[in-house]
Every structure is written in structure tokens, then in C-alpha cells.
Amino acid sequence: MAERFDVVVIGAGPGGFRAARRCAQRGASTAVVEKEYVGGTCLNWGCIPSKTLLASAHLLLRARHASDMGIEIPSATPNWAKIQQRREAIITGIRKGMQGTMKANKMTHIEGRAVVTAPGRIRVQSNGQTRDLEAGKIILATGSESIELRSIPFDGQTVISSKEALSLPQIPRSMLIVGGGVIGCEMACAYTAFGTKVTIVEALERLLPMEDSWVSRILERELKTLGIEAVTGRKVMSVDKNTSPAKVNLDNGQAIEAEKVLVAVGRRAAIDKETVDALKLEMNGPLIKINRKLETNVPGVYALGDVVGTTYLAHGATAEAEVAAANATGNNEEMQDYALIPRVVFTFPEVASVGKTEEKCQAAGMDIAIGKGFYRANGRPIAENETNGQFHAVRDKSINELVGISMVGHMATEFAAFARTLLGTVEPVRRITFPHPTTSETLEDAVHEALGELLLEEC
């Protein structure tokens, strides 16, 4: 006999977990099926472990520069075993918290691999046992996995993905990172602080190519100061593993030695072919096709998060989860403009942006005004000895509204949600008092310069 639920969510990453929680809170009997660990990529192999490593790495760098602030620390070195234990403990602790949340919200957690066998029917397999479920609505939140390069396949030892890079048995002497996007740049910052000689090879002309070039310029300069070498406009062709360290061959004939080769060239949606076939799901390449309501082509089946490839961000997945859960429980909601979901990179310094970038506005022929704020002109970042930061605000002159904010600097990611609230009308900006001295005054400087005389006009 199949167990019956109003909603069955497949995948308990940030997207699936949020969707299941919201459905349960709205009174639907809800099951969430997970084949590995609750928290998905984000908690177990993504956001949280990477930020844990970066936090230790940043503290190490601060300790090494403590003398600049009058504090003498004779030596600061990483204890890798402790760093790894802390990473594991943090993940386990958050997982426990999620178990508690599921219980408190009366969500049914089912362990196992779920396959949709027909509309409304799901088969879960775990340790040779099979459990059949029936669902009024199905939410697919099965996430993604690292893209493998055919020319240098993963071997888990020398050629690795971010998953292995987060839990290496020891700090490697050298690492070549293929890909200068978010994950590549974050891992480069962590490992260079721990003492690894890091080289990034990026096929495009600059690091973080999705952001404005001024952002990439600052980041490239700061990464160089940290000792990271960035080779841009070049491709990795092969890895010769017969030597130790391995020899990484680039398309210009250059060979770079590296103990580890981390391939961080993006993520690919992960969805079982059986589910796709059984539902006759309409796909867009490897991605499940959805509309603004997160509906697939199959009535009653929704999809969200990395498996639909809209943002590849945990908070993008949870934003979609809110909409999918609302719709799966009888409401009628649509996704907001995806550009309003903040983008964050936890490098040293951090990068964050929301809305339209300067260059995208220019490419679209928009008439814009730019306002800039600088960390070096504000008391708090100067006191903190973190002066390498710059915020830019973009105003669309045709509507006199802020349409984008891009930020580089220490803790810039913490301002991303706040920056989002400033997009739109002039009115809220006028009413905000930015506390002094705080780094947020850099945002005030940028926004006020972008709005200029508009702030002086009558409301």
C-alpha cells in the first residue's frame, strides 16, 4: 500500500527543505525524500563548509597582519586537523537543527533515493527496501553536481571537484584551479592563506566574468597581493599525472606543476532519467523547464533550485521554494525579477551585487548615473584596517531609480540584502539613517552620489 501525502518533495537541499517546510506550515501533509544528507550541497559540500574554511583562512591572514594594528602574534599557523574537525562539527550541528525543524513542523523525512514512476507516484529505495508514495503534488529539488571536463576527468586524488577540495587529508603544497568563477576564486583565497601555492586558469579574459570589469580588476589585484597567480584567456588541455607533482598543460604550451588540480567550471543539474521519462518532463538541455510559477509541463509537478539552473545559489533556491510551495498549496504566485536576487562571492575581499550591473546597463543603451563609495574614505573600515573596498550604485536616469548596486570589500556580502531594499524609489533612501562609523556609510556615499540632486527635491 502506498503512503499518501499532499506534497512530496524530492531533495532536502536548501530549496527542497524550504519548500517542504512551507508546505507543511500551510497545513499540507508533506514528505521530503533525501538520498544523502539533509541540507544538500549547500550544507554538506558547498556554502557552509566553504565558508567555514574561509573563516579560518581569514582569521589566519588577520593574525599575520595583527602587528599592523599593534598586536604582536609571534606565529600563526593552520592546524588542519582542527580546521577539518570544526567544519565537520558545524555541518553536523546544523543538520541536527534541521532534523528538529522537520519534527517541529510535522514534516515526514524519508531517507532514500526517490524516483517518480508516474504522475503522483514515487518509489523510494534505501538499503534494498522499497517504499511507495502517492502525492497530490510533487516538487523536484534534486540539485546539481560538479561539471567534469572530458579532457581531465575527476579521479578524486589529483583531479578533484570542490567536494574533495573541502575535506583534503592535508594542505597541498600547490593547487591549480581550473575556472575563475565563484567557487574557484573562493577556494583560491582559502588555500593561499593556508600556505598552498595557488594558480587559477580561466578561459575568459578575467576572473568573475559575470560581474563588472572594475570588480574583476580589484579582485585580481587583491588576489595577486595574496600570492595567487591568475592566468586568464587560457585553457587547460591535459594533466600529466605520471610526474609528482602533476604537470598541467595549457593551450599555449605552458606547463604548470600542481599537487592538486581542482576543476571548478560550473555545476550541472542532477535529475534521474527515470523520473524525466516517467513524467515526460520537458527539458532545456540538462535543466528542467519551468515557468515563473515554478510549474513544469506536467500538472502538479514543480521544480526549483539548481536543477532548474536559474541562479545556482542557495538563496535563489529558497526564493523559488517560497513560490513553488505557495503554488503547490493552492496559491497563485510568480517569481520576482531574478536580477533582484543578490549575487555573493566570499573572496578576500568579498564581492556582492544586486540588480543590473553598470556594463549591462551600458550594453542596453541605458542613460545611467553612477555613484561611488570607498572604504578608504570611511572611518570604520579604516579602523578595521580593511580599506580595499568600493561600492557602486547605478541610477537609471529615465526613471530616476536605483537599478543596481555592486560592492567589493570586507563583509560586502552582508550588505547585499540591504542594497536590494534600496533599489526602486528614492523615498526609502532619504529616510534611512546610516549609523556612524559603519562600513554601511560606503553604501550611503555610493547611493547618495548616484541619486544626487534627487535627494534634495520635495517628496
392 is catalytic: no
| Phi and psi at residue 35, to the nearest 5° | -90, -20
β-pair partners for 263: 178
Q: How many residues make up the chain in this entry?
A: 459
In angstroms and rounded to an integer, the radius of gyration of the C-alpha atoms of the chain is 24
Measured from the CB atom, the residue of 263 and 450 that comes closer to ligand FAD is 263
**Minimum distance of ligand FAD from residue 56's CB (angstroms):** 15
Contact of 389 with 409, CB cutoff 8 Å: yes
Contacting ligand FAD (CB under 6 A), which of 109, 113, 360, 372? 113
Measured from the CB atom, the residue of 33 and 188 that comes closer to ligand FAD is 33
Q: Is 58 in the site for ligand FAD (CB under 6 A)?
A: no
Contacting ligand FAD (CB under 6 A), which of 30, 56, 84, 142? 142
Query: What does the block give as the cell for 398?
Result: 529615465
Secondary structure tally for the chain: helices H, strands E: 14, 24
Measured from the CB atom, the residue of 25 and 311 that comes closer to ligand FAD is 311
Measured from the CB atom, the residue of 137 and 315 that comes closer to ligand FAD is 315
Residues 300-319 contacting ligand FAD, CB under 6 A: 305-307, 312-315, 317
Contacting ligand FAD (CB under 6 A), which of 6, 36, 333, 414? 36
Interface size with ligand FAD, residues (CB under 6 A): 38
Rounded to whole angstroms, how far apart are CA atoms 133 and 124? 8
**Minimum distance of ligand FAD from residue 415's CB (angstroms):** 15
Contacting ligand FAD (CB under 6 A), which of 28, 42, 256, 294? 42
Q: Is 148 in the site for ligand FAD (CB under 6 A)?
A: no
Kindly list the distances between the CA atom of residue 361 and the CA atoms of 212, 391, 403, in Å, as whole numbers in the listed order.
Answer: 11, 17, 9
Q: Is 15 in the site for ligand FAD (CB under 6 A)?
A: yes
Q: Is 441 in the site for ligand FAD (CB under 6 A)?
A: no
Q: Is 141 in the site for ligand FAD (CB under 6 A)?
A: yes
Measured from the CB atom, the residue of 13 and 180 that comes closer to ligand FAD is 13
Taking residues 149 to 168 in sequence order and writing x for each that binds ligand FAD by CB under 6 A, - otherwise, the string is -------------x------
Contact of 369 with 395, CB cutoff 8 Å: yes
Rounded to whole angstroms, how far apart are CA atoms 302 and 282? 12
Catalytic residue among 315, 392, 410, 436: 436
**Minimum distance of ligand FAD from residue 72's CB (angstroms):** 34
Q: Is 98 in the site for ligand FAD (CB under 6 A)?
A: no
Q: Is 371 in the site for ligand FAD (CB under 6 A)?
A: no
Give the residue from 157, 177, 154, 176 showing the smallest Cα distance to 168: 157
Choices 31-39, 92-100, 233-241, 403-411; region in contact with ligand FAD by CB under 6 A: 31-39
- Amino acid letter, residue 174: S
**Minimum distance of ligand FAD from residue 144's CB (angstroms):** 6
Contacting ligand FAD (CB under 6 A), which of 30, 50, 192, 347? 50
**Minimum distance of ligand FAD from residue 174's CB (angstroms):** 20
Measured from the CB atom, the residue of 64 and 113 that comes closer to ligand FAD is 113
E strand intervals along 217-297: 229-232, 236-240, 246-250, 255-258, 260-263, 267-269, 283-284, 287-288
Q: Is 12 in the site for ligand FAD (CB under 6 A)?
A: yes
Residues 178-237 contacting ligand FAD, CB under 6 A: 183
DSSP labels, 44-77: HHSHHHHHHHHHHHHHHHHHHTGGGGT---S---
Helix/strand/coil for 276:
helix
What secondary structure letter does DSSP report for 433? Answer: P
Rounded to whole angstroms, how far apart are CA atoms 103 and 201? 46
**Minimum distance of ligand FAD from residue 369's CB (angstroms):** 30
Measured from the CB atom, the residue of 257 and 322 that comes closer to ligand FAD is 322
Give the residue from 101, 267, 243 showing the smallest Cα distance to 182: 267
**Minimum distance of ligand FAD from residue 287's CB (angstroms):** 12
Query: What does the block give as the cell for 319?
Result: 526564493
**Cis before 78? omega within 30:** no
What secondary structure letter does DSSP report for 141? Answer: -
Q: Is 265 in the site for ligand FAD (CB under 6 A)?
A: no
**Cis before 245? omega within 30:** yes
Rounded to whole angstroms, how far apart are CA atoms 257 and 262? 13
Residues forming contacts to ligand FAD in the complex (CB under 6 A) are: 10-16, 33-36, 40-42, 45-47, 50, 113-114, 141-144, 162, 183, 270, 272, 305-307, 312-315, 317, 344, 346
The residues assigned a catalytic role are 436
